[in-house]
A and B are shown apart, each in its own frame.
Chain A
Amino acid sequence: GEDVEQSLFLSVREGDSSVINCTYTDSSSTYLYWYKQEPGAGLQLLTYIFSNMDMKQDQRLTVLLNKKDKHLSLRIADTQTGDSAIYFCAESVLSGTYKYIFGTGTRLKVLA
């Protein structure tokens, strides 16, 4: 079955690192994505990782993928107040349509 799970809330202090976790169930996933959603705004693609990779780094963002455990994480270094948002992970299912299955989102609150 297709299911993506995330913890609902995360609170960190400005300047600390944030780690947002996600688990998925579909072993045929090809790409896994992280999106950011700010209040009243659309989904902004942050980064993605191909399923045969273990890690991807992009400036302050590091994505780690443990395919055996079907676990994905997003690390944000030096978290800033502007990083406060809801973060969604999504898997792209290899079913012909590559539709996305999204998690419920993790609300990140950055304390000054």
Chain B
Amino acid sequence: GAGVSQTPSNKVTEKGKYVELRCDPISGHTALYWYRQSLGQGPEFLIYFQGTGAADDSGLPNDRFFAVRPEGSVSTLKIQRTERGDSAVYLCASSRGHSYEQYFGPGTRLTVT
């Protein structure tokens, strides 16, 4: 596709459940970022991939959060034992390289009930 895509667009889950959020970056973009945007806030950095490896995961809030990018393209953000405080819009962005501008997907709105 022409842009970054994310699925699902909306996810409602019960507290304690496991969820996976998917990101398809722009073709050829080697850098991939995940951000989290809580209501009324700007996006906050979670994790950065260069190729297949997580080069910086300093923004992950705790060990319930994990992300993979096994083939250097699609990435999955995984959240275990979800909590109500995890409710937010999860944004994915990709760029040609880490020093270039990032293009954002439409986000996945996660609601934990």
Contacts and interface: CB of A to CB of B under 8 A. Distances in A.
B42 A104 contact: yes
A33 B59 contact: no
Q: Which of B44, B99, B102 has the most CB of A within 10 A?
A: B102
B91 interface: yes
Contacts of B55: 96-97
Size class of the B contact interface (CB-based, 8 Å): 20 to 34
B63 interface: no
Interface of B: 31, 33, 35, 40-45, 48, 55-56, 59, 91, 93, 98-99, 101-107
A97 B42 contact: no
Interface string A62-97: 000000000000000000000000001010100111
A41 interface: yes
30 contacts: A33-B101, A35-B104, A41-B106, A42-B91, A42-B104, A42-B106, A43-B93, A43-B104, A45-B102, A45-B104, A48-B101, A92-B99, A95-B56, A96-B56, A97-B56, A98-B98, A99-B48, A99-B59, A100-B33, A100-B43, A100-B45, A100-B93, A100-B102, A101-B45, A102-B35, A102-B44, A103-B42, A104-B40, A104-B41, A105-B41
